Amino acid sequence: MGFQMIRAFSTFGKIFQRTFATVKMNPLSPAQLRLLPGPSCFFDEPVQVKVNGLSPQQKVELRCKVTDDKGVVYNSSGTYLADHNGEVDVSSQPSLAGSFTGIEPMGLFWSLKPDQQHSKLTKRDVVSPIQFLFEVVSGHGEVLAQEINTRRFMADGVRRIPVKDGRIRGCLFLPPGPGPFPAVIDIYTLGGGISEVRASLLANKGFVVLALAYYGYQDLPKAVSKLDLEYFEEAVTFLQKLPEVKGPGIGVLSISKSGELSLAMASFLSGISAVACINSCSANVLFPLHYKDMVIPPLPSDIKRAFITESGIVDIRDTLADAAAEENLACVIPVERTNCNILFLVSEDDRNWNSLYHAQLATKRLRDHGKANYEIITYPKAGHFLEVPYMPHCPSGFHGAVGKVVNFGGDPKTHAEAQIDAWKKIQEFFKKNLGCVSDSYQSML
């Protein structure tokens, strides 16, 4: 048994004990809880929740519980009335009460709430799965049935390889088979380190993915005062040289702060063919961006323009200066330089900043230079962190640059629907602009 597998089982065992140690179930209950098509799936796949063996018209509560890698516990619930056969099908029957109501096939996922406010579900170790506990509970609080949904991040044969090459640090995910495969650099948001969730799931689809850190990881600087675009250029070169990479063009997947980094990569670096920006700014923010002898200064901001919401959370949406103002044009990423295709995925209720306005500014620059190499997809009522499908909504959290808990926006249900659609659009975009996955890999799916 390999080291990674041993570590995965060890990590899973600790999480299992934290999450499920207090579970007690009536062994005589005839009720059965089923997860279809099976109890194990990938994180970005839906499951159908069914219960049978209940009394006709029996009222029960379905509960879902998961503990993340930080020990934060997330819970959701829905109250259901069994039909005349004593069955409940979450995909076709309404929840009458709980953390969601109505017919919501994946409501037990998108309505999950953390036991520690302002938390964002954390999964650092994608080698091990994450476990969701489902329970059927009677009106007297008795657990009648339970099942565990094992949600995996890596398909069989996907290789996870830590990267320490020159200056670049990160983690490489290679699909099974010889390839060559289209390749993507995945850069996450402000906060340091790397997030491997998107990268691992995208590798399952037949992409080589480099989850790239740029500070706060291994021997990289713990904090950042400026950013060097040549570091990201090294990452592009690293991928292009891999025999498993199809090339010649590389894709970039970005969100929030990394969005303008990806736009800068497309504008100044060769070898970038497709950029997917999730809720990006059109100007450089927070730190000076250096490339050779050029420096793009950060867009000014004024925290005095923030306000406190009714729930006591800081709203910073309007704190950035206007990137279209004459005095701020030096801060704007010159996207008109690029010929690569750009996909802007925009949440209209993004309270981190006005993502729609910035996408419109960027695309106007492209149009003004006779270019049509872009697409904007908007999601009303979605918040800032558009993640992979079935990741719980994060409406607020600590913002490192602000030093306070801020509002990220979004309605949980609508946000969940946006995540499903955005994930599909991202894959379609990269397949179209980087080339489809190889025939040999398709035959393995």
* Average pLDDT across the chain, whole number: 92
Residue 350 falls in the annotated catalytic set: yes
Contact 348, 411 (CB under 8 A): no
* 145 and 167 part of one domain: no
Q: Does residue 384 have an active-site annotation?
A: yes
Whose CA is closest to 437, among 244, 199, 229, 194? 244
Rounded Cα distance, 251 and 437, in Å:
14
Instruction: State residue 23's pLDDT score.
Output: 52
Q: Is residue 331 part of a domain?
A: yes
pLDDT > 90 in the chain, percent? 86
The DSSP secondary-structure symbol of 315 reads E
Catalytic residue among 350, 393, 396, 438: 350
- Please report, for the domain that includes residue 24, its CATH number: 2.60.40.2240
What is the number of domains present in the chain? Answer: 2
Q: Among 384, 396, 415, 438, which one carries the catalytic annotation? A: 384
Q: Is residue 346 part of a domain?
A: yes
Residue 20 pLDDT greater than 80, yes or no: no
Does any domain span residue 441?
no
- The model's pLDDT over 57-104, given as tens digits with 9 standing for 90+, comes to 999 999 999 999 999 999 999 999 999 999 999 999 999 999 999 999
As a whole number, mean pLDDT of residues 216-225 equals 92
Indicate whether 269 pLDDT > 70: yes
Picking from 152, 169, 204, the residue at the C-terminal end of a domain is 152
Residues 263 and 380 in one domain: yes
CATH code for position 241? 3.40.50.1820
> Which among 95, 111, 195, 256 is annotated as catalytic?
256
Residue 439 lies in a domain: no
Strand order in the sheet with 227-228: 227-228, 289-291, 294-296
* Whether 144 and 180 share a structural domain: no
238 domain-assigned: yes
Band (51; pLDDT cuts 50, 70, 90): very high
Confirm whether 443 is domain-assigned: no
Domain ranges, residue 247: 159-434
> For residue range 287-312, what is the model confidence (pLDDT) as tens digits?
999 999 999 999 999 999 999 998 88
pLDDT tens for residues 325-336? 999 999 999 999
Question: Are residue 185 and residue 84 in the same domain, yes or no?
Answer: no
Phi, psi of 355, rounded to the nearest 5 degrees? -60, -40
5-9, 68-72, 151-155: segment of lowest average pLDDT: 5-9
